Structure 1
């Protein structure tokens, strides 16, 4: 039921997410999560700044009231679930830009002034790492 993956900074994308608030699939019958995973991988492959961020996928993050959700995580850092993205290159770049700042942060806290515009308003939850709570 679980698949072991690298234990570093990662964007885990829900591959079964809806395409939008109003549509399960796009015009070609493809889920938004599949499109977002593809966009994340394409953007990552085209820019070495993102080499230290793993792009991982899994079915359903259980944030179904939102669409195109991702979980940002790294060892000993607060994690975040973000959603309501368009499954496109612009959203993928914003997520990965934020992930670079997140990976470089001490505890997962990125100053608001460093947030890319494309992630503002997309945060759903934050989760403490195992063995910790946030202050």
Structure 2
């Protein structure tokens, strides 16, 4: 059931997420999460600086009231779940830019003024790193 992945900074994409609030799949039968994962990987190909953030897919992150949901995580840092993205290059770039800032931060808290515009309004929840809670 579980598959080991690299323990470094990562964006985990819900591969079974809907394309939008109104549609489950695109015209070709692809789910939004799969499309977003592809867009994330294409964004990495266009900017080697983003290659240090892993992209993994996982079926269902249990945020089914939302669409195109991702988890941003890195060792020893607060994690975040974000959603309601369009499965496109603009969203992918904003997610990866935020994930890189998150990975470079001491505890996973990126000052709001540094957030890419494309992630603002997309945060659903934050999760403490293993063995910690936020004081």
SS at 1:51 equivalent: helix
Partner of 1:33: 33
Partner of 1:44: 44
Paired with 1:29 and 1:48, the residues of 2 have a C-alpha distance of: 30
| Cα distance, 1:46 vs structure 2 | 1.3
1:1-135 correspondence to structure 2 within 5 Å: 1-135=1-135
Paired with 1:65 and 1:49, the residues of 2 have a C-alpha distance of: 33
| Cα distance, 1:49 vs structure 2 | 1.2
Paired with 2:99 and 2:49, the residues of 1 have a C-alpha distance of: 10
The unaligned stretches of length 5 or more in structure 1 are none
TM-score by length of 2: 0.98
Paired with 1:99 and 1:130, the residues of 2 have a C-alpha distance of: 18
SS at 2:52 equivalent: coil
| Cα distance, 1:51 vs structure 2 | 1.6
Paired with 1:21 and 1:44, the residues of 2 have a C-alpha distance of: 26
Paired with 2:6 and 2:29, the residues of 1 have a C-alpha distance of: 31
| Cα distance, 1:126 vs structure 2 | 0.1
Paired with 2:2 and 2:69, the residues of 1 have a C-alpha distance of: 19
Aligned length: 135
Paired with 1:80 and 1:52, the residues of 2 have a C-alpha distance of: 18
